[in-house]
């Protein structure tokens, strides 16, 4: 549906996990504050369980592509939507060639401005698939708060990290504890189950071990959008987590874009695995003191590191600058 006053942007956010999707929703919220609407394309297996539309401005839409589809079928759906829609801007998250390499033949025929959200990428992919050439199809590169291969490009603009909530939207500590179903007092460890489904199971195991180790010293909450099988610990289905950050004394998770940036900007202590990804380099994003390499190390360090969290400082949310830039580029197709 096209907005009556603002612009309407198509956001390509294909990719596993929650990273691409959460970044797209964050941008959608930023667009809404400037009276624009968005149509988000995603294929995350988590998307079906999440109330994505509730986060977006009225008139926006989310197309959840079946995560089980192969690249040819996905390419067919993408081609249909990208070439036949009526949009003021096309925003492509992370993959200038598309997740399955389906965009290069489509991009030259798309008349509206094209914006690439240029996150860090595996350098071998950048080299072997000539990503620098694919980037030339884009009118603007938005670098969301971390170094990227083409962040020195003449069309690149580096913004603050993109977050799903602004500073003034965070809950106070008491409200956050209630949302997390945590006791009113005492330390709180939050274990985040995200990434691949098997990794959700791993994090559930860690949460269970931490709960036993920290009994009487701290509460442990396991947050996961979906569980891979049954686990010993009860999980809380809370997404997004950022609004409740003031209650979290220690965050245990992985090195994905959202977890790490949310922890860094809010000064939340973080311990994280750097999971292997095809494109994303979690080791490059995590600070050395945050990185953990085994389950037992995670439990040991979490127990040793537990303490009161620092206050959340004022922070800038890069989605607002990004939305302003896209709106400046955007015009009728």
Partner 1 sequence: MAGSGLCQERTGFLFSHNCDCLAAYSCASCGKEICDRHMHETESGTMCTTCAKATRRASREPIDDPYFYSGSYYRGYGRYQPGFWGYHHYHHHHVSDWHDRDDFTEADAESVQAEGDEGFEQDMGAS
Residue numbers of the site for partner 1 (CB under 8 A)?
A: 14-17, 19-20, 43, 45, 67, 69-72, 74-75, 94, 97-106, 122, 124-125, 128-130, 133, 136, 196, 256, 277-280
Q: Hey, what are 329's tokens?
A: 């580029």
Kindly state the smallest distance separating residue 229's Cβ from partner 1, in Å. Answer: 18
Q: Can you tell me the distance from the alpha carbon of 329 to that of 317, in angstroms, rounded to the nearest whole number?
A: 20
Q: Can you tell me the distance from the alpha carbon of 41 to that of 11, in angstroms, rounded to the nearest whole number?
A: 6
Kindly state the smallest distance separating residue 100's Cβ from partner 1, in Å. Answer: 5
Beta carbon nearer to partner 1, 14 or 176: 14
Beta carbon nearer to partner 1, 105 or 147: 105
Q: Are 310 and 291 in contact (CB under 8 A)?
A: no
Beta carbon nearer to partner 1, 133 or 296: 133
SS3 of residue 188 by DSSP: strand
Q: Can you tell me the distance from the alpha carbon of 110 to that of 137, in angstroms, rounded to the nearest whole number?
A: 10
Pairing of strands 270-273, 250-254: parallel
Beta carbon nearer to partner 1, 107 or 218: 107
Kindly state the smallest distance separating residue 17's Cβ from partner 1, in Å. Answer: 5
Beta carbon nearer to partner 1, 32 or 96: 96
Buried b (16+ CB within 10 A) or exposed e, 159-184: bbbbbbbbeeebbebeebbeebebee
Of 263, 258, 248, 185, which Cα lies nearest the Cα of 225?
258
Helix (H) or strand (E) holding 235: strand 235-236
Question: How many other C-beta atoms lie within 10 A of the C-beta of residue 108?
Answer: 8
Beta carbon nearer to partner 1, 189 or 272: 272
Q: Can you tell me the distance from the alpha carbon of 3 to that of 83, in angstroms, rounded to the nearest whole number?
A: 19
The owner of tokens 């592509």 is: 65
Beta carbon nearer to partner 1, 96 or 113: 96
């Amino acid at each position: 549906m096209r907005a009556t006053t603002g612009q309407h942007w198509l956001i390509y956010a294909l990719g596993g996990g929650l990273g691409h999707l959460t970044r797209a929703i964050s941008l959608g919220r930023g667009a809404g504050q400037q009276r624009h609407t968005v149509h988000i394309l995603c294929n995350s297996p988590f998307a079906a369980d999440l109330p994505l539309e509730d986060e977006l401005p009225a008139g926006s839409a989310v197309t959840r592509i079946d995560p089980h589809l192969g690249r040819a079928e996905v390419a067919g759906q993408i081609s249909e939507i990208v070439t036949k829609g009526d949009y003021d801007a096309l925003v492509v998250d992370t993959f200038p060639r598309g997740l399955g390499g389906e965009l290069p033949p489509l991009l030259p025929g798309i008349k509206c401005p094209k914006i690439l959200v240029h996150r860090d990428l595996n350098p071998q992919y950048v080299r072997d698939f000539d990503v620098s050439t694919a980037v030339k199809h884009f009118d603007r590169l938005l670098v969301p708060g971390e170094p990227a291969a083409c962040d020195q490009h003449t069309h690149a603009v580096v913004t603050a990290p993109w977050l799903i909530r602004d500073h003034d939207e965070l809950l106070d500590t008491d409200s956050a504890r209630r949302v997390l179903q945590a006791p009113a007092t005492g330390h709180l460890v939050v274990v985040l189950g995200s990434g691949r489904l098997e990794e959700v199971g791993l994090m559930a195991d860690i949460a269970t071990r931490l709960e036993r180790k920290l009994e009487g010293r701290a509460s442990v909450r396991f947050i996961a959008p979906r569980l891979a099988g049954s686990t010993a610990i009860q999980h809380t289905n809370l997404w997004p987590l950022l609004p409740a950050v003031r209650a979290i004394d220690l965050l245990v998770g992985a090195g994905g874009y959202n977890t790490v940036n949310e922890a860094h900007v809010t000064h939340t202590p973080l311990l994280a695995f750097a999971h292997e990804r095809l494109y994303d380099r979690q080791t490059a994003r995590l600070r050395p003191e945050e990185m953990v390499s085994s389950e037992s190390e995670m439990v040991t360090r979490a127990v040793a590191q537990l303490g009161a969290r620092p206050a959340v400082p004022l922070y800038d949310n890069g989605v607002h600058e990004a939305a302003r830039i896209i709106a400046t580029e955007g015009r009728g197709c």
